[in-house]
Amino acid sequence: MTPFALKNGVLHAEAVALPTIAEQFDTPAYVYSRAALEAALREFHDVLAAHPAGAGALVCYAVKANANLAVLNLFARLGAGFDIVSGGELQRVLAAGADPRKVVFSGVGKSVAEMQQALEAGIFCFNIESVPELERLNEVAGQLGKQAPISLRVNPNVDPKTHPYISTGLKEAKFGVAYDDALALYQRAAALPHIAVTGIDCHIGSQLLDPSPFAEALDRILALIDQLAAEGIAIHHIDLGGGLGIKYREDQVQPTAAAYLNPLLDKLTGRGLRVVLEPGRRLVGNAGLLLTRVEYLKHGEAKDFAIIDAAMNDLIRPALYDGWHDILPVTPRPDATRDYDVVGPICESGDFLGLARPLAIEPGDLLAVMSAGAYGMAMASNYNTRPRAVEVMVDGAAVHVIRQRETVEQLYAGESVLPR
């Protein structure tokens, strides 16, 4: 679906004109579409429901992509589980109405307190990423008189052909355990008194637009499952991770959930394994945009700059990953375009949201930074003492504030000056 489209010459979110949102809530503002969020999750559920190997599958939304309570609550209502990477995320999803039996806990640095918190909540599974973590979890579970359900996150050493910062399944990655070490570690886990081996996990990276690396990784994981079965270690679920990419620019081809899932499900037919998935960006990325206003146009000797009221603290992907986001005028002008570097007011040369963008704009115009629903607000900061943006959810013709804009006073409320 297309949640953001031009109607009568003005860009809308569902049935709401973006200038109306700017007038009511000011800018910068994150704007999400409820219909787009629901459609993205439904696409996964529909493919899984149509395939025999998808029976009982669990789609666990990767909370790190966008942790707003309204987003989490919406997905929980639709039957999703959650992939978390911290105790704070666990507390968030529970506050949003999640079923803890649908929560998987990933991440390389789980603390004792986080393990205790997750065990007491009764989560579905811990994705274990190292030998010391396995030993610690066994000890913590024993102290609580519980058994911890685990899968090992196994690195298949498959190149996902994505940005190195979001490539996670190679042998050089900090994540997971080496493929060649996995059998021995599973044997160790099966012998521990407070560990219950339930599954196997694999996540190779993020923003993948070619489904073939997923299939290559699965072949390696299935071979390992067969080795484990020969050793008497039964695997009940297979967590295929997430990473399916989205379309950030017009010339990209966004693979369908069917193109991604069906080849994997075909390989799993008849194995009796419950499928667990951890999509994040794919569920929220194209369901949100960052609405911003042009403050100044600065015409330099070598470049022209459009200085806007959003900045790298609001959306860091362009500066951190060289990430591309389409930037669209909310009310397009018929004038000739000029190439602008779209930059924010932060005192860093890396404070840009787009470079050399052809735009016909004037000061005061609104711009929509597209595909900003994932890793936008979730990675926002208060650098330069900038309050984080308001977040709103559009539902048809209704607009709901799902996070109030911060105030400067809130930013320093927890600080104190020294006594005399």
Catalytic residues: 347
Which DSSP state fits 287? G
Task: Specify which residues 298 forms β-bridges with.
Answer: 305
Amino acid sitting at position 356:
A
- Environment class of 341 (CB within 10 Å of its CB; exposed 0-12, middle 13-18, buried 19+): middle
Residues near 139 by Cβ (< 8 Å), separated by ≥ 6? 194
* Nearest-angstrom CA–CA distance, 32 and 34: 6
**H helix or E strand, kind and range, residue 7:** strand 4-7
What is 242-269 written as a DSSP string?
--B----STT-----HHHHHHHHHHHHT
Amino acid sitting at position 13:
A
Taking Cα atoms as reference points, which of 348, 287, 293, 286 lies closest to residue 316?
348
CB of 220 within 8 A of CB of 156?
Answer: yes
Phi, psi at residue 244, to the nearest 5°?
-65, 130
* Nearest-angstrom CA–CA distance, 120 and 128: 18
